[in-house]
């Protein structure tokens, strides 16, 4: 599938990581199922994709509330992350996004803007051999208000020294697209693995 980009010119490309650069959402879901299963917590696959872009701590807090559980937020988020990192050798890139990264690298600056923590993003990009393509990484530690708030994307634009209106965002979640729009940026939606399997069937 080739991506249809909005008309430019754009002076920076900002990429979400999980589900956008890295086809990592299926691996994240396996890690979530294992980690949450230890606490008798269920996490429906459709809800998992609907909550894409939400930081791990917020996911656990929201599931605690929904299912009347008392899971430890910080330690469980770390445990889930470690389960994901163990599966990194299986990670593949999203082909249509990789094509754009390879075609435009060196022409304009790139940033990764993620709801994940730095170690997770660095792990994914390193596993894919793409770490050197990005000028900066904005992770969950860098902002207070996660997507759909615009903060993460505005931080990335400021670090690259590019006006928000001149940035193009690549995102696979509705929360991410809302964040880009709130930041005053154009965006491209990447189909999720769930959507891609529906397109094929």
Cα–Cα nearest to 76, from 112, 42, 32: 32
State yes or no: pLDDT of 201 exceeds 60. Answer: no
Please pick, among 16, 18, 151, 172, the residue that the annotation labels catalytic. 16
Distance CA 39, CA 55 (A): 19
State yes or no: pLDDT of 151 exceeds 70. Answer: yes
Output the pLDDT for position 1: 65
Output phi, psi for 169, to 5 deg.
-105, 135
pTM summary value: 0.86
Structure confidence at residue 50 as a pLDDT band (50, 70, 90)? confident
Distance CA 198, CA 196 (A): 5
Output the pLDDT for position 192: 79
State yes or no: pLDDT of 189 exceeds 70. Answer: yes
Q: CATH for 25-88?
A: 1.10.150
Q: Where in the chain is the domain with CATH 1.10.150?
A: 25-88
Q: Where in the chain is the domain with CATH 3.40.50.1000?
A: 12-24+92-200
Q: Which CATH number fits domain 12-24+92-200: 3.40.50.1000, 1.10.540.10, 3.40.1010.10, 3.40.50.720?
A: 3.40.50.1000
Residue 16 is among the residues annotated as catalytic for this protein = yes
């Amino acid at each position: 599938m080739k991506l249809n980009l909005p008309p430019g010119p754009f002076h920076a490309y900002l990429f979400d990581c999980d589900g956008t650069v890295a086809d990592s959402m299926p691996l994240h879901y396996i890690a979530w199922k294992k980690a949450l299963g230890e606490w008798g917590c269920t996490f429906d696959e459709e809800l998992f994709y609907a909550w894409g872009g939400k930081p791990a701590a917020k996911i656990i807090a929201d599931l605690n509330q929904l299912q009347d559980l008392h899971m430890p937020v910080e330690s469980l988020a770390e445990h889930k992350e470690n389960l994901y990192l163990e599966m990194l050798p299986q990670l593949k890139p999203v082909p249509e996004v990789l094509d754009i990264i390879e075609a435009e690298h060196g022409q304009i600056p790139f940033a990764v803007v993620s709801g994940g923590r730095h170690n997770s993003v660095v792990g994914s990009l390193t596993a894919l051999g793409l770490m050197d393509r990005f000028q900066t990484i904005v992770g969950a530690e860098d902002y207070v208000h996660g997507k759909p708030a615009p903060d993460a994307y505005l931080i990335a634009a400021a670090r690259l020294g590019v006006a928000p209106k001149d940035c193009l965002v690549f995102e696979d979640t509705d929360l991410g697209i809302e964040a880009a729009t709130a930041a005053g940026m154009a965006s491209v939606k990447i189909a999720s693995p769930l959507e891609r399997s529906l397109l094929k069937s």
